[in-house]
Amino acid sequence: MAKENGESGDGSWKKHVDDIKKIFDFKEVLGTGAFSEVVMAQEKVTEKMVAIKCIPKKALKGKETSIENEIAVLRRIKHENIVALEDIYESSNYLYLIMQLVSGGELFDRIVEKGFYTEMDASRLIRQVLDAVNYLHSMGIVHRDLKPENLLYFSPDDESKIMISDFGLSKMEGTGDVMATACGTPGYVAPEVLAQKPYSKAVDCWSIGVIAYILLCGYPPFYDENDSKLFEQILKADYEFDAPYWDDISDSAKDFISHLMEKNPEMRFTCDQALQHPWIAGDTALCKNIHESVSRQMRKNFAKSKWRQAFNATAVIRHMRRLQLGTSFGSSNIHSASATSNPQSRPPAKTECKLGSRASPTGPPIAPLPSAVKAFDQDSDEPSPVREDRPAADEPARPRPSTVTVIHTGTK
């Protein structure tokens, strides 16, 4: 049983328990990884449903101090759009993180299920993400792994808020370490991360730009069959607003994305700046229904079983060393992206959007959750999804990448 007042003898915030199942009824496994398991459970006294991340202590050996520091940070985070860490228990062999249970499902699933979806819907989603990330940045916390599968709906309700989860790669700024570790998820990492340069809060803003891009077209901005070429694209910020997929998207939306997916982190929008952009704060987001084209592309490019993939940094670094990839990303100068135009925002469109109904979600809630240790899902043996109906017949298929790494700059 937990000690009196739930605290350890030395005043630590961890509650010691002999058997966690004396306090919680474990219901079902929500997810597993190489180092942890997430279980849906019910607290016996209050009957409250929670998600528990169970981490074996042997996986934390040598990392105890950094883990405790990070959990201490997570306990301070209180924001309506961030999944909360509610409690921490420990037994002789396990650390248990008691998390807020969210049941509304994942971002792309909800969009595909809707019958009506507009730029305005995307704008409202991104505004919530910006609010939450701006809050984190104000606390000196960089998430470092923002991606659609870490954006969950709080409940099945049509008007449910979006929640940011999974802080397994988060990092406090100003803790003495220069952030230069290869981390993140393929397709969402900023150029400076791949170039093994010191980076900061700006990496989160880049990731939000990538998410906004996908929300408006249904496919990722960077894609290639060849990993070397893929990373070259990211390093150069080489993306386009392809026709016909972007023909009906406002210039204001493209301008917003271009400021976030800016190659030079010094010139990239901050969360504060992004929140003031007309596409977020004004009424330039269009109300035309883009559901058919976006959902079609999402189904092709983000099949659920295929895009829930993490990376193994060590293996990937070895892989990229073998490739001996040379890059044009300069070692001293960072140039702004030249692959996109700099469109001006359209005049405000004073119209109202009517949101359509959404089909009821099916199946149990899947909730990847914040933690001090990243859970690596190992389901990457399926083939990568590909883009199918691109206008140019001779253009190669564009699968999502399956790895991310440090790239060592040099000559070919």
Q: Binding site residues, as ranges?
A: 58
Kindly state the DSSP code that residue 249 receives in the 8-state scheme. S
**Which residues contribute to the annotated binding site for ATP?**
58
Instruction: Choose, from 145, 166, 204, 227, the residue flagged as catalytic.
Output: 145
Q: What are the angstrom distances between the C-alpha of 61 and each of 68, 187, 248?
A: 12, 31, 53
Sign of CA dihedral 393, 396, 401, 404: negative
Is residue 145 flagged as an active site residue?
yes
Sign of CA dihedral 97, 99, 105, 108: negative
Which amino acid would we find at residue 341?
S
Alpha-helical runs (H) found in 239-327: 251-260, 271-275, 278-281, 291-301, 304-307, 313-323
Report helix angle 251-260 to 202-217, nearest 10.
150
Find the Cα–Cα–Cα–Cα dihedral 193, 198, 201, 205, rounded to 10°: -30
**Among residues 172, 166, 200, 198, which one has the least CA distance to residue 185?**
166
C-alpha 18, offset from chain centre: 35
Burial of 151 (0-12, 13-18, 19+ CB in 10 A): buried
Q: Which helix (H) or strand (E) holds 31?
A: strand 24-32
Q: Which two tokens stand for residue 304?
A: 């659920």
Which amino acid would we find at residue 149?
E
Which amino acid would we find at residue 363?
G
Cα–Cα distance, 341 to 277 (Å, whole number):
17
How open is the CA angle 158-187-236, to the nearest 5 degrees? 130
Instruction: Name the β-bridge partners of 163.
Output: 152
| Cis amide linkage into residue 244, ω under 30° from 0 | yes
Longest dimension (CA), the chain: 69
Q: Which two tokens stand for residue 181?
A: 């570790």
Query: Active-site residues: which are they?
Result: 145
